[in-house]
Amino acid sequence: MSQPKVEGRKRRHERVRRRVRGTAARARLVVFRSELHIYAQIVDDAQGRTVASASSLKLGEVARAEGESKSLAQARAVGQLLAQRAKEKGVQAVIFDRAGYRYHGRVAALAEGARKGGLQF
């Protein structure tokens, strides 16, 4: 039995991927969201390799603002960690690929964290 929600997201992601390509000058920041965790990686599509990656799997306890949920704090921390790792590899600017998810909640928090960490998009 298929899941219409997951299939719809995959269709949206394929549609976006037809236009969005990461290059050496401006790599692609792609997000994957599971129920418990959030993953992000910076991909150079021209060479077909992952430049940097980060996830909430090994973050541990993350400081959060008053009233902020744990998942939002983790997403923001993943964005900042990814930005730090990208800077070490010499990546300054990226194209944000939200992978068919709405730019809302954890996805937006990750993007905000990456911007705060110094990535430009």
Domain-wise residue ranges, the chain: 4-116
Please say whether the structural domain 4-116 has been given the CATH code 3.40.1550.10. Answer: no
DSSP alpha helix (H) spans, the chain:
4-17, 70-88, 106-116
Is pTM beyond 0.85 here? yes
pLDDT in tens, 9-36: 999 889 888 888 877 789 999 999 999 9
pLDDT in tens, 54-65: 999 988 778 777
| Token pair for 79 | 């964005």
Backbone φ and ψ for 17, nearest 5 degrees, come out as -65, -20
